[in-house]
Amino acid sequence: MTDTHASVFEGLNEAQCEAVTTVDGPVLVVAGPGTGKTLTIVRRIAYLLHGGAKPDTVLAVTFTNRAAQEMRERMESLLGPESEGVFVGTFHLLGLMILREALCDGFVVYSKEEQLNVVKGLCKEGASQSRELVDSISRIKSLLETPSEEMRHVYEAYEAALRDKGAMDFDDLILRPIELLENPRFVSGYRERFRHIIVDEYQDINAAQYRLLRLLARDRAGMCGVGDPDQAIYAFRGADVGNFLRFGDDFPNGRTVALKRNYRSTGMILDGASTLIRNNGRRIEKDVQPTKGTGERIRVVCVPDERAEGRVIVSEIEHRIGGTSHYRLPRGGGRRQGADESYGFSDFAVMFRTNGQAKAIEEAFLVSGIPCRVVGSRSTGALNGSDVIGKIKAFAEAECPPDMLRSLSAGEFLEVALKKLNIAGAAGYQEIVNYINMVEGDGGVNRRAIDFLKTVSLLTNDDSFDARADAVTLMTLHMGKGLEFKVVFIVGCEEGLMPFGPAEGPADIEEERRLFYVGMTRAREELFLLSARTRFLYGNRCNRRPSPFLGEIPGRCVEERFVPDRPGKQKRKRQMELF
């Protein structure tokens, strides 16, 4: 027991130890970026179990499956079978569990796509309007609001349609449990059971999740909220950083522990990011301290346009990788002197405020041949061979009995599938036939559909990107939450994009600043902030001004670079002026 006990504290700093051991009263752990938040949570669970808590009394909730997965893996590797029975999962999983225990298992959970179909069926709206309606319904539910007059009709019809089908949407997985738990007899059992509640990313909870937590925890001693109000970036989904700031009122005898030692970023990056975020009012001051060296200054790079942003990034990456082909070797034949010699493509990330910015960057990568992956959106929109095959497989599994697949030829089956899937179109079909002929040899279309499907099953799996692959990540700042990279490029650091919104003032400047802060603090070693002087926006080439946020980063952390317009362009201009 003693040596396992020792492992609970091994490598923890003082504040982390305090966060782990404060179990006799509510505690709010303010965990700045890179301060070992997940580690602390896992050790707290270990501490609780070693202190005699039964695994099924411990509830650890977080927001994404990815975060839950990581937490579970780390817990299991520390505790092994001892941790069996601890609930580690998302709010939705918690809701689902409560529902399953209370009701029978007979309901289905609708995906966003299915929600969309329901709404489309109800009001015969186009795709984008339906999507908006789905979002509005979700917002009403997550904020525990009552629908407005104009929404009421759709909302009620939607709810009725779901009831008819015995279905729930994702928000119902929180709402229905709340209804159940508002029954005092029902809730007492759960309060009895979940004595130790740990909520990760506490700054991101919305009204419904907050209500659910309050019902479960009341003002319980075993309540532990973990998060960073400076990283609250989900207001658009109904999250309210106020819940975090109100923790002290909700749990009057609660303590606050701040994790300040940052194990991720260099001193320069932290200094820049911390100084910036101090311009926010709604926050809890925490002086994040670097444990790494000072590092290089934050490079603030001003480029002619969005294409130059891409080129600068590609050349910086090539510089660190040491050239990607004989034709792109850096001059002098080698990589940067004195630089860390070990870079893979996954050490780099490019982040932007809006998905629309991905395209120009992706094009620069396509030209260079450097592999990149756009996370969270399909920027090109074009289906490639493996996408199509994936869809066809899913269609066959869902809609086609084996007998049918035996009797149809691959060609016939495909014709049906493509029509039903609405990805037919003469060109698309021919492309796939070519594809099948490639894979199966000529005459492949005449083979039995079932054999064809067996062959293609070997070729694709559900994950469309191979996990073994190393690629530069392109993503929105929102997607960066929880991740870290050696080198981070934030593009479009311009007024109107960062902060996002009209020049008169974005809806929520503090939220935008937090988003920028999240982006900056993803970087371990180097941070590049790029802004373009002109950009193609809304159908026009517009002149741009640097983001006001850049001015909030102190000069001591910054190295400014100015990339002039391409000489060719200027020359042409000068020639024009001659005439």
Partner 1 sequence: MRLIADLHVHSRYSRATSRDMIPEALCRWAQLKGISVVGTGDFTHPGWLAELKEKTEPLGNGLFRLKKSLMAKDVPPSCRADVLFMLSSEISSIYSKNGKTRKVHSLILVPDFADAARINMALSRIGNLNSDGRPILGLDAKELLKIVLDISPEALLVPAHVWTPHFSVFGAMSGFDSMEECYEELSPYICAIETGLSSDPPMNWRLSALDGITLISNSDAHSPAKMGREANVFDTEASFEAMKKAIRTGEGFLGTIEFFPEEGKYHHDGHRSCVVNLSPKETARHNGLCPVCGKKVTVGVMNRVEKLADREVGFKPGNAPLFDSLVPLAEIIAETLERGVGTKAVEGEYQALLQKLGNEFTILMDTPIGDIERAGSVLVAEAISRVRSGRLHITPGYDGEYGKIKIFNGDERRTIKGQATLF
Q: Does 504 bind partner 1 (CB under 8 A)?
A: no
Region from 308-316, 379-387, 493-501, 554-562 binding partner 1, contact rule CB under 8 A: 379-387
Give whichever of 384 and 407 is closer to partner 1, judged by the CB atom: 384
Stretch in the footprint of partner 1 (CB under 8 A) among 62-70, 173-181, 266-274, 330-338: 330-338
**Any contact of residue 325 with partner 1 (CB under 8 A)?**
yes
430 near partner 1 (CB under 8 A): no
Tokens found for residue 571: 């020359």
Helix 14-21 × helix 2-9 angle, to 10°: 120
User: What CA–CA distances, in Å, run from 419 to 28, 386, 415?
Assistant: 55, 18, 6
Of the candidates 189, 369, 376, 564, which one interacts with partner 1 according to CB under 8 A? 369
Whether the Cβ atoms of residue 317 and residue 335 lie closer than 8 Å to each other: no
Binding of residue 136 to partner 1 (CB under 8 A): no
DSSP state at residue 256: E
CA distance 51 to 48: 5
* Other beta carbons within 10 Å of 548: 16
Beta bridge partner(s), residue 258: 30
Q: Does residue 337 interact with partner 1 by CB under 8 A?
A: yes
The answer to whether 324 contacts partner 1 (rule: CB under 8 A) is: yes
Instruction: Say whether residue 468 binds partner 1 (CB under 8 A).
Output: yes
Q: Which of 143/329 has CB closer to partner 1? A: 329
CA distance 252 to 58: 22
| Residue 379 found at the interface with partner 1 (CB under 8 A) | no
Stretch of residues binding partner 1 (CB under 8 A), selected from 116-124, 176-184, 248-256, 327-335? 327-335
CA-CA distance, 15 to 336, in Å (whole number)? 38
In the complex, the smallest distance separating the C-beta of residue 286 from partner 1, rounded to whole angstroms, is 33
| The pair of three-digit structure tokens given for residue 49, joined into one six-digit string | 């179990």
Window contacting partner 1 (CB under 8 A); options: 60-68, 196-204, 246-254, 439-447: 439-447
Query: Segment 304-323, which members bind partner 1 (CB under 8 A)?
Result: 321-323
Contact range with partner 1 by CB under 8 A, out of 225-233, 235-243, 284-292, 359-367: 359-367
When asked if residue 367 is in the footprint of partner 1 (CB under 8 A), the reply is yes
Query: Least distance from C-beta 410 to partner 1, angstroms?
Result: 14
Tracing tokens 């199509």 back to the chain, one arrives at: 388
**Residue 402: both structure tokens together:** 């084996």
Q: Residue 258: CB partners within 8 Å, gap ≥ 6?
A: 15, 29, 30, 31, 32, 284, 286
End-to-end CA distance of the chain: 88
The reply to whether 385 sits near partner 1 by the rule CB under 8 A is yes
SS3 197: strand
Instruction: Count the residues of the shown chain that bind partner 1, applying the rule CB under 8 A.
Output: 47
> What is the rounded distance in angstroms from the CA atom of residue 290 to the CA atom of residue 287?
10
Of 128 and 325, nearer to partner 1 (C-beta) is 325
Nearer to partner 1, 212 or 396 (CB): 396
The answer to the question of residue 344 lying near partner 1 (CB under 8 A) is: yes
Q: How is residue 42 written in tokens?
A: 């896992």
By CB under 8 A, is residue 452 in contact with partner 1?
no
| C-alpha distance from residue 74 to each of 32, 83, 441 (Å) | 20, 11, 47
Min dist CB 459 to partner 1, Å, is: 5
- By CB under 8 A, tell whether 374 contacts partner 1: no
Out of 386, 429, 448, 478, the residue judged to bind partner 1 by CB under 8 A: 386
Residue 462 in the binding site for partner 1 (CB under 8 A)? no
Those residues whose C-beta lies under 8 Å from the C-beta of residue 516, and which sit 6 or more positions away, are 276, 477, 490, 498, 499, 547, 549
Among 171, 230, 347, 495, binds partner 1 (CB under 8 A): 347
Q: Does 331 bind partner 1 (CB under 8 A)?
A: yes
Question: What does 335-355 look like in DSSP terms, one character per residue?
Answer: --TTS-S---GGGEEEEESSG
- Let me know: does 207 contact 238? Beta carbons within 8 Å: yes
Using CB under 8 A as the binding rule, whether residue 146 contacts partner 1 is answered as no
Rule CB under 8 A: is residue 376 a binding residue for partner 1?
no
Q: Which of residues 203-262 bind partner 1 (CB under 8 A)?
A: none
Instruction: Label the pairing between strands 523-532 and 298-303.
Output: parallel
Residues found near partner 1 in the complex (CB under 8 A):
321-327, 329, 331-335, 337, 341-347, 365-372, 384-386, 434-435, 438-441, 459-460, 464-466, 468-471
